[in-house]
Amino acid sequence: MSEEALGDIAVTSRPGPTTRIRVRELSGSTARDRRDDLATEEPLEIRVSAPDGSRRTVAITMRTPGHDFELAAGFLRGEGLAGPGDVNAIAYCTDDDVPPEARYNTVTVHLKGPIPDLPSLDRHFLTSSACGVCGSASLESLHDRCRPLPRGQLELTPEFLYGLPDALRRAQGVFGKTGGLHAAGLFTASGRLVAAREDVGRHNAVDKLVGWAAMTDRLPLSEHVLMVSGRASYEIMQKALAAGIPVVCAVSAPSSLAVDLAREFGLTLVGFLRGERCNVYSGVERIAGPTG
């Protein structure tokens, strides 16, 4: 298929994080044609395989290409399907049922043991970049695989929190080109950015971070802070809990279930973190300074 047939979107064998197109820009009474960069959105199918040769698809999500193996590893960790010690290898899929043009959109996680026999695998996780994935439908089910986080030694100042949004924004290289991506950043208590990931889906960005930590043997992230560019949802809090992250900060509002999860499992949740103001919804004991 020609480039013109695809609306000026170039066809490549391996999709990248940005796609260049031609647009007409209107400004007042003038118009001009120019090139523009868009955040790429492509499907990613996540499969798992066992040593006995069995294979299953566990997720199909829309994502921004890049760090695909981390996304798969983080997703499986967040859903309780595989921890770092359960994974033998991760690779792009070369199964016969996957056409060559789709192989960079299909990842297989090769497990060391059998595929988990979990109720959540009775259906595929059909997800989108907008809504994310939640394998556990309620807080009660989380108790089967997650424990409340200990208080620990982490204590943060309000000034530390106020600096997180700008620090994350400076790490958003693709956002700077497209203006259309969510981001998640992992910080130490001293304010150092350890890693940042971008994606059209805010949950995917968190999965990529958790997957990076899992693949580099850094879990649990008990002395780190997660900063996300959007709102704090139940899914994001679930992923943070599974990774052992005690503090989650968001530029926008949390959902009611996100707050419930944070309070029940001992996470600190900060929302509306903009400029020099924020709301602390849970875990105020980790924030130094006046709380009254």
What pLDDT score was predicted for residue 215?
94
Q: Delineate the domains of the chain, giving CATH numbers in brackets.
A: 42-132 (3.10.20.10), 158-286 (3.40.140.10)
For the chain, what's the residue count? 292
**Quick check: bond before 220 cis, omega within 30?**
yes
Which position has the token pair 């290409």?
65
What pLDDT score was predicted for residue 250?
95
Q: Mark residue 217 as left, alpha or beta (left: phi above 0; alpha: psi -120 to 50; beta: remaining).
A: left
What tokens appear for 278 in the block? Answer: 């924020």
Give catalytic status of residue 131 as yes or no.
yes
Cα four-point dihedral sign 21, 27, 33, 35: negative
Are 222 and 199 a contacting pair, CB within 8 Å?
no
- 157-192: string of b/e by CB count within 10 Å (b at 16+)? ebebbebbbeebbebbebbebbebbbbbbbbebeee
pLDDT tens digits, 88-97: 999 998 777 7
In a 3-state reduction of DSSP, which class is residue 12? coil
DSSP 60-107: EEEE-SSSHHHHHHHHHHHTTS--GGGEEEEEE---TTS-GGGGGGEE
Edge-to-edge strand order for the sheet containing 182-188?
Answer: 193-199, 182-188, 224-228, 247-250, 268-274, 277-282
pLDDT tens digits, 18-56: 888 888 787 788 888 888 888 888 889 999 999 999 999
Candidate list 131, 146, 249, 278, residue with the active-site label: 131
pLDDT tens digits, 137-152: 457 778 888 899 998 8
| pLDDT for residue 129 is more than 70 | no
In angstroms, the Cα distances linking 83 to 4, 30, 174, 243 are 44, 56, 29, 10
User: Residues forming the annotated binding site?
Assistant: 272-277
pLDDT tens digits, 183-225: 999 999 999 999 999 998 889 999 999 999 999 999 999 999 9
Are 111 and 48 a contacting pair, CB within 8 Å?
yes
pLDDT > 90 in the chain, percent: 53
Q: How far apart are CA 136 and CA 126, in angstroms?
A: 14
